[in-house]
Amino acid sequence: MCGIVGYIGNKPAVDILLEGLTNLEYRGYDSAGVAVNVEGKVELYKAEGKLQNLKNIVQEKYEHISKSVIGIGHIRWATHGVPSVTNAHPHTCNCGKVAIVHNGIIENYKELRAKLEANGCTFRSQTDTETIAHLVASKYAQTKDLTEAVRIATKEIEGAYAIAVIHQDVKNTIVATRRNAPLVIGFGEGENFVASDVPALIQYTKKAMYLDDNQIVTLTPDSVKVIDENNNSIPLKIENLPWEPVALSKMGYKHFMLKEIHEQPDIVRNVLTGKLKNIDENISLSEVTLDKDKLKDLKRIQIVACGTSLHAALVGKYIIEELCGIPVDVEASSEYIYRTTITDENTLVIGVSQSGETADTITAIRQAKKKGSHILIVTNRPDSTMAREADSLVPVNAGIEVSVAATKSYMAQVISFYLLAIYMAEIKNSASKEELIKIKHELIVLPQKIEQILNHKSDIQKCAKAFSGHKDFIFIARGINYATALEGALKLKEISYINATGYSAGELKHGPIAMLDESMPVLSILMKGKVYEKILSNAEEAKARNAKLIAVTNSDDIKLDELFDSIIRVPDIEEILSPALAIVPLQLLAYYIAEFLGKDVDQPRNLAKSVTVE
Ligand code: M6R
């Protein structure tokens, strides 16, 4: 959701800005822009729509623009004001000397705007961001010091922001700061970088520092200085980034989503490494710092998350209740934060997030922390805001996920929940050793089973082709795979814009069945176990209403061929592990349908990879 890049050094800044923005495209955006300083003058270049539109504009004047060795760039995901060139960042003050890029939302922008207008500022855009440009300009007029101007300007701002600022009269400096929005500084030789995420700078440097809330950084080509909001100097905490630039390559796949789906067998192996060493040994989860006696005494667990991470949490609930006998509530973070939640020191609160930057989940865990709960974070980004606020951090090691539609991070979250549940069950002695050994064994062989599905993806491709003309879909399942139905439907609607809804199969006859006819395919997740026969009956009920039926199943019962119009068979697996397998064909089905429909698979419209506003 929005992306910032800033560069100061000795190379044409525009090249680095456009490359950096390209590597942030996955965050989701609808316009883009850069500000550079060419021969002592701040110049802006902006375009609506894809980054390529901006690249075309820059190309026409490349010789001129490339003279600048300082610049800031931005991709914008519209919050205040429509996507347009006027609303695209960077924004400037009235004299055009201050240029600013911003992620986040300024909550008091209306009051600020009124004050600034009363003082003679003229606003050109509908954005909240433009207020910061005018505010910084007015503070600079008083202080003649850009860092100080930013520092005192931010004291008047309420809300979330990561910003980067340049000033025409301060040619050798970028100032940046953050509050509740991520910002990372990259350290080079004779050049320095600032960005809202690592992919923007990883190909230039692996030396980085994450800025904390309210810290202000001043970058020149040869120096990086950080202060806090009270002007105290902050020592530099430079770390080596774990990411490899190759993570940003499609490696021959047509889309990042397809590549990431194919990475899942290795992701499972990664997540298990070092934690599940041997089926006879206990799971080792040194990341969980919750005292073992406290863990035994836990009265309840609450899991907060959004979107796909929420679905992983639902699988987690099922496994933890089954193996540990602790009641687990799962709630969308956006709901959790606006009601009276009953939580205390006997409640473990788990936040699940691929990005670790989802605003609603951050707010939820902060609320729970204040009430004394131990906060355990399951995230793919150990460098994120949520990770830094965690009491226990379970990193899911899925590597960077570029496609907006989450796939491999979901798999890694689900596998992490198996490990966490077994870990707790072993401490609590709440499940039989045989049961736990069976699950551990299944986890170890899971990657091969996923590989078998990937090797037979042409069947899924055929099914996708046959059903790609439908405008609506229903996904049904029961028990542990209810979450799989929700996640499969979410994948389809996210990238193909088809109206797909996941239902608990038993709920079909309580309403949704009214919608069924030949135009509404029903996909059943029909995995062997407690609810197999029940789902089969629900599928029969749908058939009786002329719905076309698809099954994802590990059953080899040939009678299914009579009932279902299309069957996607997956390897056999214990029911409790089945969500980790059944989701793979659903990811592929969504992918191939979207591809047949010619959709922008990796960057679906209106969506952002990291949702940093509430
Ligand atoms: O980074 P998070 O896991 O906290 O993000 C939560 C959702 O925004 C995210 O899962 C979203 O639903 C994805 N687009 C799913 O594919």
38 and 171 part of one domain: yes
User: Is residue 405 in contact with ligand 1, taking CB distance under 6 Å?
Assistant: yes
Ligand 1 centroid–CA 247 distance in Å is 19
In this prediction, residue 136 has a pLDDT band, given cuts at 50, 70 and 90, of very high
- My answer on whether 69 and 85 are in the same domain is yes
Q: Which of 355, 379, 414, 491 maximizes ligand 1 atoms within 8 Å of its Cβ, making it the mutation to test the pocket?
A: 355
358 lines ligand 1 (CB under 6 A): yes
Residue among 486, 591, 611 to mutate when testing ligand 1 (max atoms within 8 A of CB)? 611
307 CA closest ligand 1 atom index: 12
Same domain, 10 and 67: yes
Give me the chain's average pLDDT, please: 94
pLDDT of residue 531: 94
- Domain boundary, last residue among 235, 252, 269: 252
pLDDT of residue 189: 95
* Pair (460, 529) in one structural domain: yes
Average pLDDT over residues 325-353: 93
How many residues does this entry show for the chain?
614
Residue 246: the pLDDT is 63
Closest C-alpha residue for ligand 1 atom 8: 307
Ligand 1, atom 11, lies closest to the CA of 307
- Supply the pLDDT for residue 248: 72
Residue 416 lies in a domain: yes
- pTM, two decimal places: 0.81
If asked whether residues 98 and 238 sit together in one domain, one would say yes
pLDDT digits (tens, 9 = 90+) for 314-327: 999 999 999 999 99
pLDDT single digits (tens) 162-211: 999 999 999 899 999 999 888 999 999 999 999 998 889 999 999 999 99
Residue nearest to atom 9 of ligand 1 (CA): 307
- Helix, strand or coil, per DSSP, at residue 360: helix
**Could you tell me if residue 450 is inside a domain?**
no
Both 182 and 267 in a single domain?
no
Please state the domain count of the chain: 3
> Ligand 1 pocket check: which of 26, 333, 358 to mutate, most ligand atoms within 8 Å of Cβ?
358
CB of 611 shorter than 6 A to ligand 1: yes
Interior angle at CA 173, CA 167 and CA 178, nearest 5: 85
On whether the CB atoms of residues 365 and 386 are closer than 8 A, the answer is yes
- 131: CA distance to ligand 1 center in Å? 30
Q: At residue 465, what are phi and psi to the nearest 5 degrees?
A: -65, -45
Within this chain, do residues 476 and 390 fall inside the same structural domain, yes or no? no
DSSP string, 317-348: HHHHHHHH---EEEEEHHHHTTS-----TTEE
Q: Is the CB of 257 under 6 A from ligand 1?
A: no
Q: How far is the CA of 308 from the centre of ligand 1 (A)?
A: 5
The pLDDT value given to residue 382: 87
Buried b (16+ CB within 10 A) or exposed e, 128-158: bbbbbbbbbbbbbeeeeebbbbbbbbbeebe
Window from 311-315, 492-496, 598-602 with minimum mean pLDDT? 598-602
What are the distances in angstroms from CA 285 to CA 276, 292, 302? 9, 12, 20
**Could you tell me if 66 and 148 lie in one domain?**
yes
Residue numbers annotated as active site: 2, 609
Please indicate, yes or no, if residue 97 is contained in any of the structural domains.
yes
Assigned domain for 611 exists: no
In this prediction, residue 605 has a pLDDT band, given cuts at 50, 70 and 90, of confident
Q: In the prediction, which pLDDT does 114 show? A: 95
- 118 in helix, strand or coil? helix
Look at the block and give the residue holding tokens 């953050």: 178
Find, among 275, 301, 285, the residue nearest to 374 by Cα.
301
State both tokens at 211. Answer: 């800025």
Q: Residue 406 C-alpha to ligand 1 middle, in angstroms?
A: 7
Last-in-domain residue among 445, 469, 486: 445
- Does residue 451 lie in a domain region? no
CATH number at residue 589: 3.40.50.10490
pLDDT tens digits, one per residue of 416-425: 999 999 999 9
- State the Cα–Cα distance between residues 132 and 183, nearest whole angstrom: 17
The answer to whether the CB of 485 falls within 8 A of the CB of 475 is: yes
CA distance 501 to 530: 23
Give CA–CA dist 362/360, Å, rounded: 5
Would residue 610 count as lying in a domain?
no
The finding on whether 295 has its CB within 6 A of some atom of ligand 1 is no
| Ligand 1 contact, 354 CB (< 6 A) | yes
**pLDDT tens, residue by residue, 533-549:** 999 999 999 999 999 99
Question: What is the predicted pLDDT for the residue at 159?
Answer: 86
Structure-token pair, residue 120: 């003679």
Same domain, 171 and 300: no
Residue 107 and residue 86 in one domain: yes
Contact predicate 393/377, CB 8 Å: yes
- For CA atoms 253, 257, 262, 264, the dihedral sign is positive
In this structure, the answer to whether residues 493 and 423 fall within a common structural domain is no
What is the distance in A from the centroid of ligand 1 to the CA of 487?
11
Quote the domain boundaries for residue 401. Answer: 259-445
Query: Which residue CA neighbors atom 16 of ligand 1 most closely?
Result: 405
| Centroid of ligand 1 to alpha carbon of 43 (angstroms) | 36
Residue 605, in any domain of the structure: no
Averaged pLDDT, 466-488: 97
Q: Answer whether 362 contacts ligand 1 (Cβ < 6 A).
A: no
First to last CA, the chain: 12
Question: Distances in Å between the alpha carbon of 340 and those of 101, 185, 328, 350, 352?
Answer: 36, 38, 17, 18, 21
- Do 285 and 264 fall into the same domain? yes
CA torsion through residues 367, 372, 376, 380, sign: positive
Region 378-389: what's the mean pLDDT?
A: 91
What pLDDT does 345 receive?
A: 86
> Tokens 């004299």, residue?
95
- pLDDT band of residue 115 (cuts 50, 70, 90) is very high
Check the CA dihedral 36-38-42-47 and report its sign: negative
Q: Does ligand 1 come within 6 angstroms of the Cβ of 487?
A: no
The pLDDT of residue 245 is: 66
Rounded to the nearest angstrom, the gap between the alpha carbon of residue 563 and the centroid of all alpha carbons in its chain is 38
CB of 309 within 6 A of ligand 1: the answer is yes
- pLDDT tens-digit profile of 20-54? 999 888 777 889 999 999 999 999 999 999 899 99
| Residue having the nearest C-alpha atom to atom 14 of ligand 1 | 405
The answer on pLDDT for 71 being more than 90 is yes
Token couple for 411:
């798999």
Query: Among residues 252, 287, 308, which one ends one of the domains?
Result: 252
